[in-house]
Amino acid sequence: MRTLRGRIMIDKLNIVKQRYDEVNDLIIQPEIIADQKRYVELTKEYKDLKDLMVERDKYVELTNNISEAEEIIADGSDAEMVDMAKMQIEEAKEELPALEEKIRMMLVPKDPEDAKNAVVEVRAGTGGDEASIFAGDIFKMLTKYCESKGWRVSTVDFSEGTNGGFKEIQFEVSGEDVYGTLKYEAGVHRVQRVPQTETQGRVHTSAATVMVFPEAEEFDVEIDPKDVRIDYFCSSGPGGQSVNTTYSAVRLTHEPTGIVAQCQDQKSQHKNKEKAFKVLRSRLYDMELAKKQEEDAAKRGSMVTSGDRSAKIRTYNYPQGRVTDHRINLTLYDLQNIINGDIQKIIDELKLVANTEKLKEASDSL
């Protein structure tokens, strides 16, 4: 017999299944396919619901196995069957708590932006040349992590540091659930180490700021061409050399907001303009999103995604080989692997805390 908790879970999953069947029908309707925005939203929802349906089937099977085994034990006419039924219950009850927890986390409503691609910007903060070198280290850490996930990384724009690294670098990341993962890296990253330029062996503190924007689709943000000033200039490569002598680099200025987006990565002016418009759309979209995140975080008292771009989120202490994430007070003595892109365990912990906050907030949570 199912427990009350089990029945509530099944009821919830059955409601989700109804929605899954509904979306399954909708995405093949010609009028939905013709509406690009609606079609993209529904296909993303369908994918999330399909993943949940896989876990629902496992849960239904496990609870049915328990019910059948309990009936065999209650009947008690076949001793061998009773022993097997007891084993079956034991196995199922061992698997159930972890599966229930997984389903509860999957039932947490996702932010609609999470499935989007992202535009990431890493900017050197305080600390002079060492800050630029550290910004370069953070860029490498993030791109190695993205590559390990099978995501595609494409540079948009950069300005090199005088002694290596970058004063700032901007890149696009495309793949599955990119923004929903990389948004946890947004904020101020701080490093404590002896700089390469330090002759006395003293430990210095420097910082780099990471900004992560959800990549906006054309239908997310409408930009009036009259509001955009377009400037063309020659691309500059490593060490300030000219990449080419044609005016292929593009700078866009959105005059109502003063937001600037530029791209000099491609040899083609058209491709640079396309990329720059993508960044501009994403920045405008992010402006609105930041306001919403701040309001939501104030309501929730959330520390994980506060919307505060100036918040110090993580310290990398080289003498101690230590990395501390200040949002959740997580300390790991694994600096070398982390700076080489192994940040999944930190992101998993941050996601867990964020989802737990959302679960507490949901009045009908299980």
Name residues whose C-beta falls within 8 Å of residue 163's C-beta, 6 or more positions apart in sequence.
129, 132, 133, 196, 197
Tokens of 322: 């230590």
Higher pLDDT, 349 or 107: 349
Distance set, CA 72 to CA 47, 65, 78, 96 (Å): 38, 11, 8, 20
CA 184, CA 361: separation in Å to the nearest integer?
A: 20
Contact 156, 200 (CB under 8 A): no
- Would you state the torsion angle of the CA atoms of residues 34, 35, 40, 46, taken in this order, to the nearest 10 degrees? -80
CA-based end-to-end distance of the chain: 19
For residue 112, pLDDT over 90 is answered with: no
Please report which confidence band the pLDDT of residue 237 belongs to, taking 50, 70 and 90 as the band edges: low
Least confident range of 121-130, 149-158, 321-330? 121-130
Which of 146-155, 259-268, 347-356 reaches the highest mean pLDDT? Answer: 146-155
* CA atoms of 82 and 90, how far apart (whole Å): 12
pTM of the full structure: 0.70
Please indicate whether residue 363 or residue 356 has the higher confidence score (pLDDT): 356
pLDDT mean over 287-295:
73
d(CA 24, CA 51): 13
Q: What confidence tens digit (pLDDT) does each residue in 241-255 have?
A: 444 556 778 888 888
Q: Taking residues 270-292, report their average pLDDT.
A: 82
Instruction: Flag whether pLDDT at 85 surpasses 80.
Output: yes
CA distances in angstroms from 307 to 135, 189, 302, 315, 349, listed in the order given: 21, 15, 10, 19, 18
* Predicted local confidence at residue 364, as pLDDT: 46
Is residue 324 within 8 A of residue 317, CB to CB? The reply is yes
The tokens 């989120």 sit on which residue? 313
What pLDDT sits at residue 302? 52
pLDDT tens per residue, range 8-56 = 788 888 888 889 999 999 989 999 888 887 888 788 888 888 988 999 9
Least confident of 221-230, 245-254, 299-308, 337-346: 299-308
Beta strands in 255-362 (DSSP E): 259-263, 312-317, 322-325, 330-332
Q: What pLDDT score was predicted for residue 266?
A: 66
Q: Do the beta carbons of residue 127 and residue 205 sit within 8 Å?
A: yes
- In this structure, what is the dihedral angle of CA atoms 136, 139, 140, 143, given to the nearest 10 degrees? -160
**pLDDT confidence tier of residue 306, bands split at 50, 70 and 90:** very low
pLDDT tier at 240 (50, 70, 90 boundaries)? very low
Average pLDDT over residues 92-107: 85
For residues 219 and 281, what is the distance between their CA atoms, to the nearest angstrom? 10
- pLDDT of 135-183, one tens digit each? 999 999 999 999 999 999 999 888 898 888 999 999 999 998 899 999 9
> What single DSSP character describes residue 348?
H
Q: What is the pLDDT of residue 212?
A: 92
Share of the chain above pLDDT 70, in %: 87
